[in-house]
Amino acid sequence: LHNKDLPSHRLVNTLTATTEDSEFMRFIANYKFHIAMENAICDDYMTEKLWRPMHLGSVPIYRGSPVVQDWMPNDHSIILIDSFPSPKDLADFINYLDQNDEEYLKYLEYKQPGGLTNTFLLESLEKREWGVNDMSKPNYLNGFECFVCDRENERLQAERAHRKLPDSVPLPVPRRAAYDHMGCPVPTPGYGSDDEIPANDSWKQMWQQDYWQSIDQAEALTTMIHHNETDAGRLWDYIHQLMSKSPH
């Protein structure tokens, strides 16, 4: 609606207003609430739109991951847009909190000692083998790759032990990947339907194209495995072969 001018021309350009930009962070910290709507709705997709205002002490008004509450510090730290029957009900609730400091501050209690009460989150942080900005641990991508390698090495060792002592060491139970391990649905917009977005919109060009390209890469990788291909550099050759056979 452009009902207020930004205090700095640098904040107009989102390319320069980065998460690490102190001016940008100070600007956000001025506000009691922060509308945080993800670019796509997916269980494991939670971004700086969510954690940036939480870091600064602003209450996120959030729409995004359906399982976001699993990872929140407590059950009273964000306002979920989808829990309200209408935008008016949401607006009424925000106005209520704005006029009642005691109720508003309940959304920031997790920042106080003892305020982080989500045991699932605490246990996950304590037990995870990967880190965030922690050079002593692998990052989350390397951590997943290491996990896959560890499970494969365990299987190979168990098979060797079985061959040596088949009567006393059983064969390892097969591990099979399921969709809910790493799967993700086709990205959907945070507001409206996919049909309402023009084909030339950047959301469609980036999010959906990335999704389908990842599907193609996964199919090509599966084909490589079935052909006992050992040259990782041939991935794009296999993708090209799949594309040439595709009816689309």
Predicted confidence (pLDDT) per residue in 51-68, tens digit: 999 999 999 999 999 999
Q: What are phi and psi of 184, to 5 degrees?
A: -150, 135
Q: Number of C-alpha atoms within 13 angstroms, CB side, residue 132?
A: 2
d(CA 104, CA 23): 25
CA distance 96 to 58: 16
The predicted model gives 201-226 an average pLDDT of: 84
Q: Domain-by-domain residue ranges, the chain?
A: 31-127, 130-175, 177-247
Tell me which residue has tokens 């088949």. 166
Q: Is the pLDDT of residue 102 over 90?
A: yes
Return the minimum-mean-pLDDT range out of 60-74, 137-151, 221-235.
137-151
C-alpha angle 63-190-82 in degrees, rounded to nearest 5: 35
Domain 31-127: which topology? Answer: Rossmann fold (3.40.50)
Q: What is the pLDDT of residues 2-60, one digit of tens each?
A: 888 888 777 766 555 555 668 888 888 999 999 999 887 888 889 889 999 999 999 99
In whole angstroms, give the CA distance from residue 19 to residue 36. 14
DSSP 73: S
